[in-house]
Amino acid sequence: MFTGIVTDVGRIRSVEQKGDVRIVIETAYDTQSIDLGASIACAGVCLTVVDKGQDQSTGWFAVDVSRETLSCTALGDWRPGVAVNLERSLRVGDEMGGHIVSGHVDGVGEILEITPKAGSKEILFSMPDDIAPYIARKGSVTVNGVSLTVNAVSNPPGAAFSVNIIPHTLMETSFRDAGEGDRVNLEIDILARYLARLSGRD
């Protein structure tokens, strides 16, 4: 379980085919404090640490990504040097700064437009039509692992939503490197998921 508050921006060191895809991510985390088998949200995808190490001043950890995960996320776009939002799993007693995030991606969107707004940026994202009913104005959504508040939503066909990203969030996440056309991982608010189930939508 996560909160959508990014605590490190890592960098992809390598991507290697080993049955599943083995991805090595450089991080500022103290890797001695990361257990093998631990869960880390990587751009909003909950992945399991299978190896780790420290090279001089740079730590790293490795994850294996299945074909299924590649098919339903934007992780297939990862190449060496790509910035990745990281969040370690929530512990009992930790501050809940964002919203409840599971690390299970519901769909892949695309950055359609980036508009400067004073020091902030307004970003317009496309989204799959089937998740549009779960995203509401002033509600929460997770984009590449970042908990964000929705400014506006347009319905299918051509469903899209916009968010405003303040300077602090821009500097502390991979959105500082984002460009139009980038694909992003989307996770709907878990409360919206359960409300839809209770109402008979799912």
Average pLDDT over residues 92-108: 83
Claim to verify: residue 56 and residue 122 sit in the same structural domain = no
Claim to verify: residue 57 and residue 138 sit in the same structural domain = no
In a domain, 36, yes or no: yes
Q: How far apart are CA 83 and CA 178, in angstroms?
A: 9
Would you state the structure tokens that stand for residue 184, as one six-digit string? 């992003």
Q: Where are the beta strands (DSSP E) in 19-99?
A: 20-27, 39-42, 45-55, 58-65, 83-88
Residue 158's nearest CA partner among 107, 109, 105, 104 is 109
Average pLDDT over residues 74-83: 97
Last residue of a domain, one of 88, 122, 147: 88
- CA separation, residue 34 to residues 11, 48, 52, 121, 172 (Å): 17, 11, 8, 34, 21
Mean of all residue pLDDT scores within the chain: 93
In a domain, 164, yes or no: yes
What pLDDT digit, counting tens, does each position of 24-59 carry? Answer: 999 999 999 999 999 999 999 999 999 999 988 899
Number of domains comprising the chain: 2
What pLDDT digit, counting tens, does each position of 145-181 carry? Answer: 999 999 999 999 999 999 999 999 999 999 999 999 9
Q: How far apart are CA 60 and CA 24, in angstroms?
A: 7
Claim to verify: residue 80 and residue 19 sit in the same structural domain = yes
Average pLDDT over residues 55-82: 95
CATH of the domain at 158: 2.40.30.20
Q: If you search the block for the tokens 């700064």, which residue do you land on? A: 97
